[in-house]
Amino acid sequence: MREVAITDQEFVQFQKLIYDIAGINMTAAKKPLVAGRLAKRVKHYGLASYGDYFQLLKKPGNDGEMQMAVDLLTTNETYFFREPKHFEFLRNRILPSLKGRQAVRVWSGASSSGEEPYSIAMTLDDCLGEQPWELLASDISSRVLEKARTGHYVMNRMENIPKAYLTRYCLRGTGEHEGTFLINASLRNRIQFRQINLNETPPNLGEFDVIFLRNVLIYFDVETKKRVVKNLLQLLKPGGYFMVSHSESLNGIAEGLQAVAPSIYRKP
């Protein structure tokens, strides 16, 4: 079967679709990405064009395929202990101030395939000892959440994990699992993975001491950024911390927050 090319008109259809569902603003530069990620689905159904695939998605009863398309278009690269300054701040500044209080609650707002929440979980477990903690890890993609729940990764993903944490929280695969490692079940079982669309009003989740929303806002336009951040800040405790990535800023997006370090904010 010949390779199908995506037209500008077809790209605009998917561009609007993913904006309406997830609030993600895909520029024209993302046209090859859209084509590449959806090519297998077009081929799977033996379709003649991306437009035919778009029409298939819109048919009643195709919710599963729609979720598949959303998963493919919203998954982003991540890795363990990405932007390590945030984890240093969590370890050295935030968690010591929360010791001796009730359960510490943290939300990883775009957990992808699990590297961020497991990095947070290792830090929480190491620093808080017997003090209870809760970690919510959410993503719009059901596919990456399933991956995250397994806690199973290829060996080259471990390079940024501190050696002490590797020994304590990771199991090296043997036999048929050689070349991979597994996050210890005692840590995996403490994380609640949940599908949440940040573009919608969040469910009743309670309040959090820390919210990580990193490498997400860069995909939203200004109005979507303001709405998403406003919704999440309502779930942040007074005195709680809100982290975005080093390539993002809340300047002009949220009022009344105190910038305490690069890309780290505190709610009064």
- Catalytic annotation, residues: 37, 139
Alpha carbons 70 and 2: distance in angstroms, whole number = 25
Give pairs for 87-96: CB < 8 Å, separation 24+.
Answer: 87/119, 87/120, 87/123, 89/261, 89/264, 90/120, 90/123, 90/127, 90/210, 91/123, 91/126, 91/127, 94/209, 94/210, 94/241, 95/123, 95/124, 95/127, 95/128, 96/127
Of 146, 147, 143, the C-alpha closest to 72 is 143
